Amino acid sequence: MSEDADVELGDRLRLSVLGILGLVEAARSRYPRLRRPLAGLQAMHEAHLALLDQVGPGSDAVPTGVPITPDGPAAALTQVRGAEASHQRMLGRTSVRAASGAFARMLASMGAGVAAHLAALPEAP
């Protein structure tokens, strides 16, 4: 892997963060009971996005489609949990593949942040 490949990895991760941020925002907007429990997750993803923007300009690509939030806050919370767990795994895998040690450290820490926020989520809304 080269440092150029890290830029590509960063682009892909940026898309992933944008996608999951959209999902969290949609769930908070649709279900007032999720506003507070998901506030920390949203703030974390916004901070992660700002970090990725610092690393490189990124592409202009944006996630396609509108996030779908299922009926009911409990189902929406379950959906967010699943998406966050998938995002966490992606961050872990990408960290291992990164060429730059500093970039790998940042991605691993982002994944750890997702893991911590998942652990702090309530069982039910």
Which residue shows structure tokens 């500093």? 102
Q: Does 88 bind other proteins (CB under 8 A)?
A: yes
Do residues 115 and 88 lie in contact, with contact meaning Cβ atoms separated by under 8 Å? Answer: yes
Q: How far is CA 120 from CA 17, 56, 98, 109, in A?
A: 19, 31, 28, 16
61, two tokens:
């690509």
Q: Does 39 bind other proteins (CB under 8 A)?
A: no
User: Closest approach of Cβ 119 to other proteins, in Å?
Assistant: 4
Q: Does 37 bind other proteins (CB under 8 A)?
A: no
- Return the number of other C-beta atoms located less than 10 Å from residue 96's C-beta: 9
The 46-75 site mask, x for binding other proteins (CB under 8 A), equals -xx--x------------------------
Residues making contact with other proteins (CB under 8 A): 40, 43-44, 47-48, 51, 88, 92, 95-96, 101-102, 104-106, 108-113, 115-120
